[in-house]
Amino acid sequence: MVRILGDYHILGALISALLYSLTFPPFNFHWLVFVALVPLIWVVSRPQSLKKQFLNGFIFGTIVMGIFHGWLFSLTPFAPLWGLLILWSVVSVYYGLFYGAGMWVFGWLKPYCPRIILLPAVWIVFEWLRALGPFGNTAASAGYTMTTFPHLLHLASVGGLYGLSFFVVLANVVFISLFKREGRWGFGLLLLLVIASFTLFNSPEKKSLKPISVAIIQGNHDQSMKFSFGRFREIRDSYLDLSRTSKHADVIIWPETITPQFNLDNALFLDSVRDIAQTQHNLILLGTPYLDHSHFYNALAAVGYHDTEPLVYHKYRLMPFGEYWPLRSVLIKASLGSILPQEDFTPASSSRVLKTADYTIANAICLESIYPWYVRKQVLEGGQWITVVANHAWYFNSSAAAKHLQMGQLRAVENHRYLAQASNMGISAIIDPNGHIQKQTKLNSAAVLQDVIYVGLPLSFYTRFGDWIVWVSGGCLLLSFLRRLKTPL
């Protein structure tokens, strides 16, 4: 331990990992993000072997991901501690590998491209790569730290999450390079981005937009209650009663999986939902498991006063080890089938918007909202606003709900759309296209959250062109690679 702490290479990565972790919930020292990466940047910018470059990035990434995913241990009432320790370790190490690989590439290419451009480009390319595949995740991306800087946040409407991450890393490189030549023109680029962000900040002209009154029903039912078959009717009745108090709402949103039953197959319950929708002229969105041709789906159903049958959105992006088990057949062959649930949820064949008689809605069930391209695709298909439904009851008082809401703020700004998030025990919120939280609930409380959103907003630059900054950064890395090939050894 003394030897490790005495190695400034390792110490720089450790310090940056701790400072960077403090910028996210539950710590929320957001201002630290502009200097948090300085120790790491100082270390990886010095002459050292590629092995040490990788080690610095890997240590940084593994510690950050371990701290960020500490909420996993709130699942101890539902899973053995040893299993959670293994999952937490694998998650931390797996995502840490991307930071290690990124710093290796930076070390390999740094003689062939100015650091002021190369490091932000490498950073966002590997953040983007980390979000791909069945285990992909955007958690702890640098851009999310900008949610408390409303004027800077607006860069997301042009560059998305990764545009903000580029800005954050650039700011740290500029800080360490301020008194060098590259720092001076880097500061000019940073200042240009700040001015552009302030120019983008604007409140939508609401006179030309259509107002929609939205009511979010937060039932506040813990998992022990939702696991009790005898209390399913009580839970459903509570949502019905709270919805009857929202007579002036155009849209009522219930959270994910109100009960683990196939709620739409309960004729008495469905008639009660229809009665409210028809009496109050509402559209009611509710999360429920759904059985269709022997396939189980995590679904969002729309019951409107115009509709004879519910419209159903099937979740497309499932949570590994939560909604399905990867390598199920391998585990069964290894005689580990007894640890698996009887059935996995089935992913939808494609993502799609919900089109009702009055609205076109972009939807995300729980962690689907952490993927920028997923929400963007539905907005391109005509989504007038974004609905996110979640069940954070699994995570009790941990920071999971706050982190999820922070990601939702980015989706609203990226796509220039209002976002309504309904969570069983909180945090539920309505977010405007500037990323400002208009209203939100508290954790562990029953609530009806009602406010007005507006539809008819134009598409943002990001929605039109997607993660263009990742491709430009990838091009920068490719040019640096070609330059390296042409340079004599």
**What confidence tens digit (pLDDT) does each residue in 223-263 have?**
888 888 889 999 999 999 999 998 889 999 999 999 989 99
Q: What's residue 2's pLDDT?
A: 44
Q: Which residue has the higher pLDDT, 328 or 301?
A: 301
Q: What's residue 236's pLDDT?
A: 95
Average pLDDT, the chain: 88
Residue 336: is its pLDDT beyond 50?
no
Q: What's residue 339's pLDDT?
A: 46
pTM of the model: 0.91
Largest CA distance in the chain: 78
Cα–Cα–Cα angle for 310, 311, 316, rounded to 5 degrees: 135
**Residue 77: phi, psi to the nearest 5?**
-65, -15
Rounded to a whole number of angstroms, the CA Rg of the chain reads 24
Q: Is the bond preceding 427 in cis, omega lying within 30 degrees of 0? A: yes
Q: What's residue 475's pLDDT?
A: 95
**Least confident segment among 26-30, 215-219, 289-293, 459-463:** 289-293
Neighbours of 15 (CB within 10 A): 18
**What confidence tens digit (pLDDT) does each residue in 158-174 have?**
999 999 999 999 989 88
Q: What's residue 305's pLDDT?
A: 75
**What confidence tens digit (pLDDT) does each residue in 26-67 have?**
999 999 999 999 999 999 988 889 999 999 999 999 999 999
Task: Report yes or no: 253 and 280 within 8 Å, Cβ to Cβ.
Answer: no
Q: Quick one: average pLDDT of 81-104?
A: 94
Task: Report yes or no: 469 and 124 within 8 Å, Cβ to Cβ.
Answer: yes
Helices 156-177 and 181-200 sit at what angle, rounded to 10 degrees? 150
**What confidence tens digit (pLDDT) does each residue in 121-179 have?**
999 999 999 999 889 999 999 999 999 998 889 889 999 999 999 999 998 988 887 76
**What confidence tens digit (pLDDT) does each residue in 439-466 have?**
999 999 999 999 999 999 999 999 999 9
Q: Quick one: average pLDDT of 290-294?
A: 87
pLDDT level of residue 5 (50, 70, 90 thresholds)? very low
